[in-house]
Structure 1
């Protein structure tokens, strides 16, 4: 009988210990994930967190933290996953949608209101076949519109 009481006692408290180690809070209306400002030192494959610094959900893929794509949010983002200075971002803003391509912290290409903007001086050769003519025409007629003030409006 003493052994049975000890087994029941330890089983009861081991159950509480397991719930005490839980990082997420499960509620009747959803799950609350841990909100972190620094990444965990030893993440587990598939671990999900809410990363406050980037204000998004991220998961550990075994090599690096990856953002979940939002699909219906205001911006979808594809990043390099290392230092996050190279990315493609699709931005939904009512009738004015925009796609930004950033490379090493610079924004060389923007597609905005059906127009392509090359936003910096680059080694861009118009003799190579990539679909842009040397002739600058009105953007309304499907030509390439080049501005030097950087305003894609």
Structure 2
């Protein structure tokens, strides 16, 4: 009910960016559609259709009732922002993720990027893909 076809398409477009970045690292990860189907026990379909199915079954998701939500204040700095950085490292820009960071920052009038105190400490932005992989395999 709460995930319209347009919102579902946006979720899937964001997922396409994530999948492209994972692929560039040689990783196979589940799609958002696969995640929904497996996690919520609905037949594989579009994100919107799976949400509609869950709603028909009385299992509709309960989203936040306020913008003061972890979906904004945790997922943007610690989910969207690292995806943007990884996209830059592998030269696969995550333009929708980056737009999300900017839109949510403007919506809450708060610098959500500054809330991620881990990325600056890690200094990953100067690494290339092979250097990042090496760092992940061997550590600092």
Structure of larger gyration radius: 1
> Do these two structures clear the TM 0.5 threshold for a shared fold by scoring above it?
no
Q: Give TM-score scaled by structure 2 length.
A: 0.23
- Judging by fraction of residues, say which structure has more helix: 2
Relative contact order higher in (CA < 8 Å, ≥ 6 apart): 2
